[in-house]
A and B are shown apart, each in its own frame.
Chain A
Amino acid sequence: MAIIKAEKTPDRPAPLSERSLIGWMHKNLFSSMFNSVLTLITLYVIYITVKSLWIWGIGDAVWVAETRRECFNISLDGACWAGVIAWLDNIFYGRYPREELWRVNLGAVLLVIWMIPLWLPRVKAKVFIGLSTVALYPFLAGYLFSGGDKGIFMQIMITAAITCLIANTIHSIIGVLTGESLPAFLMTRLGQNNAPDATQRNILIAITVSLLAIIFLWQMTWSVINVPWTKWGGLFLTLVISGVGIASALPGGIILALGRRSKLPVIRVLSTSFIEVFRSVPLITVLFMATTMFPLFMPEGFVLNKLVQVIIAVCLFNACYMAETVRAGLQAIPKGQFEGAHTIGLGYWGAMGLIIMPQALKHMIPNIVGSFIGLLKDTTLVSIIGLFDILGMLRSISKDVPWLGLHKEPLVFGAMLFFVLCFAMSKYSRHLETKLSTGHKN
């Protein structure tokens, strides 16, 4: 006997083992005898670790004290965070003059303002904004941080940077509000949106030039006092070195990778040997080479300061690692892409810049960010050759008289700081990867 129902029977709920907590635990934690034992052991290990860390770092820790002895008087087993808190300014800024700290902070804020548009979906011309950050921001920040006399070159670059920043900011605000670009918006406001291209261009040039002139005159009215690089330190110095390294590693790496894949034997051999030499030695030897041998390379009387030596070494070293990453990305591009690009009449640079490189770089985003993270971590090595970067500062806490012998807490704090930075970077790169992927997943 068969019964056929006219209407659909309601769906039965999933079995209890699939949706209840107990079912989940049975499936994922206690599926077999072996797994149950493993789970219990792991739980015990987690309990021991977390408990001792909690007692040391939070439960028995001392947050307010004047000296390390005072810390000991309050609690013998707990961490003495008071020392780290007392040195917080030094950890972040090194020995930068305290009344000039606003300059460092302003530099950081300007960078954020400059970069924010890159994350806003409605803003146009992101490539231009990105390029202007790399090309102009360093001059503005460099002057803000070091100060002193502005040469004529610096004045021009600062003017260009400020103009660009203003234009970027207005452009992004307009972009967010209306979805238009700055030039189009200006033309509509001036009632010139139907004027011929030449007129529109001339108006834009006039506006830009007058803005440049005003800003040039304005920047002549102020200057900031000189802070020698020897006073730079802490996280600030670490970020300066790794920032310059990151900004220059990608262009340098692209050039070297193209050189290594070039058809011209001389260029290929030179690039390959350059890359292989720097990749086969540790960074610390390159840094030592920079500090002991760069002075010998320079003509007599020309002195390169240690910071510049270190930055050059870091840039060269990382460009070589980046070159291999970029090369791997280039190798993954099928040959049809090259041929297609040539077919539509693009030359070498056109094909590379418009077709090949964007795809190659997109493929390699996780690896590129991975090497940026490596660079950030490796920057701590400069403390070995005597710069007071964040690690140098963390280690000098233990030599400060009130906190004599305070080693562990600063190091743990530094490790946590780096963990937050690096972990955020790697998570963001995963997000970027999924956002930019165009569905070639197999």
Chain B
Amino acid sequence: MAVDNRSNKSVRTKPKQRFDFFHDERVRSVLYQFLTAAIVGWFAWYLISNTAQNLQARGMNTGFSFIHTAAGFDTDFKLISYEPGVGTYGRIFLIGALNTLYVSALAIIASTMLGFAIGVLRLSNNWLVSKVSLAYVEIFRNTPLLIQIIFWYIGVFSLLPRVKNSIDLSAGTELVLLNNRGLYMAWPMPGDLLWMTGVALVIAIIGVVVFKRWAQKRQDVTGQSFPTFLPSVALLILLPGTVYVLTGMPLSWDIPRLEGFNFTGGASLPPAFLALLVALSIYHAAFFAETVRAGILSVNKGQSEAAFAIGLRQSRVYSLVIIPQAMPTIVPPMISLWMNVLKNSSLAIAIGYSDIVSLFMQTALNQAGYAVEMVGMTMAFYMVISLTISWLLNIYNKRVQLVER
């Protein structure tokens, strides 16, 4: 483009702003958004109208009235009472949800502990131990969870001895028994006055907390430390123990007994539950281990060197200096891993543990046939939990960041 030199001398005027309809940013953004909304809206309407038509054409049931209808089938594992033919589909949903939460909660606890241990061992200065932990992580992380679950179920828990030759896990007292029908264990039966022991325990815990605060404050002021561990343990054991004995030991044990071909009494867990729990814990521990390792490595090396320099033992270096600083890095990925445990517990369907997916989304759906509603309810269950948790996680992240800077 040729530039006219004389124009430099002339007075500059603001170029006349021509309103170009298609190149104006505001017009464009409104246009794009409107187009997107229209396309998505049309697509949604198309799907919904198709669905409505299909439901009508096939004479399928709609609406949520099934929640109050009695369901005709039974489940083998339930945490709340239920009678087939009397209990409703709403109750089935509740049983499934509780079963999912139960197995996920146990698996989360077990896998976090195992993962923490392996993550720390992975950083051990013992070459062999760290290589073995690495092998654990690689082996379990790189094979599908579903294969692992089925292997534990078919290859381990179904091959246990029969009921008559149960394995006794409690060293000959027959309180905890394992066989191919599952795990049977003695279960406490609370008596009338047990609540007093509970109250005593709560009081003891409060006492310990107050005591520790006092000891800490004293140390801050005078610099002298006060032994807290033994008195705390003594308080925690003695106070509830005394109350328990004084109220006449109001706790009896329901012990499993062999009657006919099976055990009655006590608490029992089916093999599918055990297989799912073990597989979920072992699989996710590998992921936790990597998260913990990354978190610990993220702490500056100078921190641990300084901690050693002021004479702390290795365990104190970890518990007082490294782990607290690694926590903000570890917690967010760890919580999303916890969510993965919850979501992966839906693989229970492959081995027939009655979680929400296999009980409600498959069995109940096949019986009652409210496809849209039941799939929607199941998905809503998972969505509510994970959205709540990510909301809480955001709050935690904000707090941690504020503390940091």
Residues of A that sit less than 8 Å from B by CB: 28-29, 31, 35, 38-39, 42-43, 45-46, 263-267, 270, 276-277, 279-285, 288-289, 292-293, 295-300, 373, 377-378, 380-381, 383-384, 391, 394-395, 407-408, 411-412, 414-415, 418-419, 422-423, 426
Contact = CB atoms under 8 A, between A and B. Distances in A.
A423 B382 contact: no
| Interface SS of chain B | helix
Contact of B129 (A39, A264, A395, A412): A39
B51 A296 contact: yes
Interface of B: 29, 32-34, 36-37, 40, 47, 50-51, 53-55, 57, 124-129, 132, 138-139, 141-148, 150-151, 154-155, 339, 343-344, 346-347, 349-350, 357, 361-362, 365, 371-372, 375, 378-379, 382-383, 385-387
28 contacts: A28-B125, A39-B129, A46-B132, A266-B36, A270-B40, A279-B386, A281-B379, A282-B344, A284-B347, A284-B357, A285-B378, A285-B379, A293-B51, A293-B375, A296-B50, A296-B54, A297-B50, A298-B54, A299-B53, A300-B53, A377-B142, A380-B146, A391-B144, A391-B146, A415-B144, A422-B142, A422-B143, A426-B142
A31 B126 CA distance: 8
A296 B383 CA distance: 23
B126 A391 contact: no
Contacts of B372: 293, 296
B147 A285 contact: no
A192 B371 CA distance: 67
Nearest to A292: B371
B154 A380 contact: no
Given A35-B126, A42-B132, A419-B142, 13 more contacts: A28-B125, A28-B128, A39-B129, A263-B29, A266-B34, A282-B343, A285-B346, A285-B361, A293-B371, A296-B372, A373-B142, A415-B147, A422-B142
Contacts of B139: 419
Contacts of A296: 50-51, 54-55, 371-372
Given A408-B151, A426-B142, A280 B387 contact: yes
Contacts, number: 158
Nearest to B58: A296
Nearest to B385: A280
A394 B144 CA distance: 13
Nearest to B158: A407
Nearest to A376: B144
Contacts of A281: 343, 379, 382-383
A21 to B, nearest CB: 12
A395 B36 CA distance: 45
A300 B57 contact: yes
A289 B377 CA distance: 12
Contacts of B51: 293, 296-297
B107 to A, nearest CB: 14
A42 B53 CA distance: 65
B150 A411 contact: yes
B127 A29 contact: yes
A36 to B, nearest CB: 9
A24 to B, nearest CB: 8
B342 to A, nearest CB: 8
Contacts of B375: 285, 288-289, 292-293
B386 to A, nearest CB: 4
A407 B152 CA distance: 11
A394 B371 CA distance: 30
Q: Which 4 A-B pairs have the closest CB atoms?
A: A28-B127, A422-B142, A280-B386, A266-B33
A101 B222 CA distance: 83
Contacts of B387: 276, 280
Given A270-B40, A300-B54, A378 B144 contact: yes
